[in-house]
Amino acid sequence: MFDAFVVALTSVWADSGFSALTGGHVIMIGVGLLLLYMAIGKGFEPLLLSPIAFGCILANIPKNGFEEPGVMSVIMYGIHHEVFPPLIFLGVGAMTDFGPLLANPKTLLLGAAAQAGVFVALLGAMMMGFSVQEAAAIGIIGGADGPTSIYLAAKMAPQLLGAIAVAAYSYMSLVPLIQPPIMKLFTSDADRKIVMKQLRPVSHFEKIAFPIMCTIVISLLLPSVTALIGMLMLGNLFKEAGCLDRLSDTAQNALMNTVTIMLATGTGLTMSAESFLNYQTILIIILGLIAFIGGTAAGVIFGKLMCIVDGGQTNPLIGSAGVSAVPMAARVSQIVGQKANPANFLLMHAMGPNVAGVIGTAVAAGTMLAMIGPVAK
């Protein structure tokens, strides 16, 4: 009888995750717990970081059976086949006001300038030995746009998706810490004190025509990002039409929250010890930081040039919002500007380059897909 008990106990142990637990699994579970602490304890992007962290923990439970058909395999299908990023863009579009961009179209240039960091990191990654497809996927981290980063990584470097997604979302959450020193480095106190004129009113027709025309033009120019741009602009059309409130509300709330859970959890599920614990992950995090710093610096420098050209009417701080971390980057511009001049209200002005950055990052991704092409599957 005792022998039977030992055999049963041995069988239970052999079938348990403990028998296959490695040091790598323990480290990654620790990483997941650290990310949970950052999300819940410190408030760093809790809506995104919490499911990513929990997904990381789940991915590193040995013998979890996630490769079998089920909910987890469906979530991973949505990650690897670019289902969730366009759906996220539908919700983002429904929450985005392109009015500040339409009222001051030149801020589109600031959003474009902030994409410089993407191409700096691309070159840096190639110099470090990454393939051109991997380098392109790493570079897009500089746009601080999680869904676009996942979309491009799934097409060009699926083996690096976990590290790229975590780096992109981490830098999005750290915008208030990373950007202010860079903004102050490239601007003078007088620059930061510049008060911008109030934006002109934008007509209802302009707000409806913009997403339609933007979809047609960009999709014809870069067909590979039609899904991203199309869903972004469809969501915005829901918001601005005036007769689609139910669809807009669903896209902004129920759908957005559901897809965020799926996307973030799926991102965490890619963080297995086997694919994450290697020197490439460290290089990706470093290159992502370089891309993000480069994008912020390029936006501020271009903002300074714009300030010189228009005779001091543009506060260079709004250039930093050209990275597409909406609306965090715009809030940082507002905070830094108000510290220099309490009468300064830059938020709506910064939203122009901020929403332009969303479009710019998608265009940058489409450009790289068109020039380089996706990896063969």
Q: Provide DSSP, 258-275.
A: HHHHHHHHHHHHT--HHH
String of b and e for 85-102 (b: at least 16 CB within 10 Å)?
A: bbbbbbbbbbbbbbbbbb
Q: Rounding to the nearest 10 degrees, give the CA dihedral for residues 19, 25, 26, 27.
A: 160
- DSSP state for residue 41 in the 8-state scheme: I
Q: Is residue 207 scored above 70 in pLDDT? A: yes
Angle ∠(56,60,61) on CA atoms, nearest 5: 120
Q: For residue 1, what pLDDT band results from cuts at 50, 70 and 90?
A: low
H helices within 99-255, ranges in order?
99-103, 107-113, 116-127, 132-139, 146-156, 161-173, 175-185, 189-192, 204-221, 226-241, 245-250
Q: Is residue 336 scored above 90 in pLDDT? A: yes
When the pLDDT of each residue in the chain is averaged and rounded to a whole number, the result is: 89
Instruction: Give residue 165's pLDDT.
Output: 84
Per the CB < 8 A criterion, the answer to whether 79 and 161 are in contact is: yes
Residue 71's CB is within 10 A of a number of other CB atoms, namely 10
Please state, in angstroms and rounded to a whole number, the distance separating the CA atoms of residues 54 and 56: 5
Q: Kindly state the percentage of the chain with pLDDT values over 70.
A: 99
Per the CB < 8 A criterion, the answer to whether 303 and 179 are in contact is: no
H or E segment to which residue 370 belongs: helix 347-371
The tokens for 325 are 């971390």
The tokens for 222 are 């870069």
Q: Determine the distance from the C-alpha atom of residue 176 to the mean position of all C-alpha atoms in its chain, rounded to a whole number.
A: 15
Q: Is residue 20 scored above 90 in pLDDT? A: no
The tokens for 190 are 């007088």
Q: Is residue 377 scored above 60 in pLDDT? A: no
Q: For residue 376, what pLDDT band results from cuts at 50, 70 and 90?
A: low
Q: Is residue 98 scored above 90 in pLDDT? A: yes
* pLDDT tens digit sequence for 122-135: 888 999 989 999 99
- 3-class SS at 377? coil
